[in-house]
Structure 1
């Protein structure tokens, strides 16, 4: 079901902002929301969890007082949140914002969320719990190559276009194949219309110079540790939250967990977390290049970012 007609009626053209981690997305989203009476909507798979305010760089209390924010920190850490659940939340929120005449400013670094929003999402049945447990055992045992081989043999279309270095994507495709008996590509062929077609939005990708973004990643992570990231990891472990849940995949969590387990010192944990985050941002950029070539690409520091997104006002009712 698509709600883009509502935004023609209310005259509030949605803004979509993508970009790698630490590229300045959140600040730009807030500037647009301030100017256009908007609401900043989260499109980051880790910022939905209530356990990671600091480690996921969720908006601060001051940010939320500055402009309205939505879908941040609303999901319990023990919940296996999905892109489908996020889309349902966004659909309901867009209706409320349309009724209020507020402009949606959807921002995040999770490419799958933004692609599902603008391209549609296949309605795949729930994965059998036994299949999910089996897939996790395979991942934990280092059997990713075997899962890839099975996908290459039985779902060559998904295999050919997926990020094969991303265990989460491999695991998902394998689970769908085994649980439903149908390739993920087959389900995707039946994808319904998108919630917000790309043409109905102002869509931009922030693309900072890589050395600049790498420095920002390290500076931010070094600030996070004393500001509460380590404490959040300690609380996560103390609560007994299983480490195989999606919430445990926050950038830097694995390395800080290792430090708290006594396996590595804190400086080593920080350095390894920075490296892992930079590697993740490389995968983000690859996703954006492959799936968002028709979005407007901007370089922070060289472009007038706010001017790149036209102001929007409600139509007269």
Structure 2
């Protein structure tokens, strides 16, 4: 199916009407690229339930700041896996797949939408069932990194894992070290035993939004201002008493900046600028992931 230009509402409607009714739909794209609008259009054109694949929209304490669907949108179309996880609950791609499984076998065609590439890749490519890392091992790894840098962690990895990961990426190296320290088995070995995917890509109608950098940067700034108008600052005040920067939900883009403003550590303008920059940097990482990992998805160019 050819993918039309998706800059305008009429193009989105045309695309939505062309989507097969009997196939699960996947929609990936960077933050602020219009994924939710496309999901809504498809659901209203041909039915289905919209399912969240964003790692931060699962948490219950940041609705405005994570751009979760509004109550009005949820009343128009069924939505699942939004805002149902406590703020401090460790939640992984494996947890998400577990909660998604019964929806895939349910009566409604799923329209799975989100910007977390790991979730979507785990869904369509499979995910190794690696045990969770105990907090004390994560602390041990962080201490080892602080003392000896990346070489200290890399030295402990098996050769196959060292060859497979990016040795300059601290997060990837730390994750590989934690897996090996926790399980006594290299990350590469776990990955080689990955089970079949829950939803193979060939059985879906997959879309990925490729957004022009400057267009997206402007969209991100505009959307953050809309978030402020819609109550993001009040949301930060409501989160202040329970705020813990180590909580998984604290990774919501803009949360730390707005909390800092509420505490009196930043002006609102400083918090706004820092949050927008953080969101733009996140979008850059998303765009890189999608280009590398989703080359066989149907591209929607924006604008």
Please confirm whether the aligned pair reaches a TM-score higher than 0.5, indicating the same fold: yes
Match of 1:122 among 116, 119, 128: 128
- Call closer, same or farther: CA 1:57–1:155 in 2, change over 3 Å: farther
Residues 1:74 and 2:84 are matched in the alignment: yes
What CA distance in whole angstroms lies between the structure 1 residues aligned with 2:147 and 2:120?
26
SS at the partner of 2:51?
Answer: strand
Partner of 2:96: 86
Do the aligned partners of 1:144 and 1:167 also contact (CA within 8 Å) in 2?
no
Cα shift at 1:181: 2.2
Q: What is the RMSD computed on CA atoms of the aligned residues?
A: 2.3
Partner of 1:289: 291
Partner of 2:234: 231
Partner of 1:34: 44
Q: Which runs of 5+ in 2 are unaligned?
A: 1-20
Do the aligned partners of 2:156 and 2:177 also contact (CA within 8 Å) in 1?
no
What CA distance in whole angstroms lies between the structure 1 residues aligned with 2:148 and 2:49?
43
Q: So what's the TM-score if we normalise by structure 2? A: 0.86
Cα shift at 1:170: 4.5
Aligned length, in residue pairs:
283
What CA distance in whole angstroms lies between the structure 2 residues aligned with 1:131 and 1:112?
23
Cα shift at 1:152: 6.4
- Call closer, same or farther: CA 1:260–1:134 in 2, change over 3 Å: farther
Using the TM superposition, name which of 27-36 and 169-178 deviates more: 169-178
What CA distance in whole angstroms lies between the structure 2 residues aligned with 1:67 and 1:40?
7
Q: 5 Å matches for 1:1-317?
A: 12-96=22-106, 100=107, 102-135=108-141, 138=143, 143=146, 146-147=149-150, 149-151=152-154, 154-155=157-158, 158=161, 162=165, 168-239=171-242, 241-301=243-303
Partner of 2:10: none
Cα shift at 1:147: 4.2
Q: So what's the TM-score if we normalise by structure 1? A: 0.82
Cα shift at 1:222: 1.4
| Residues 136-174 of structure 1 deviation map (CA, whole Å, 9 limit, x = unaligned) | x549xx839824651366256555665778765444333
SS at the partner of 1:124?
Answer: coil
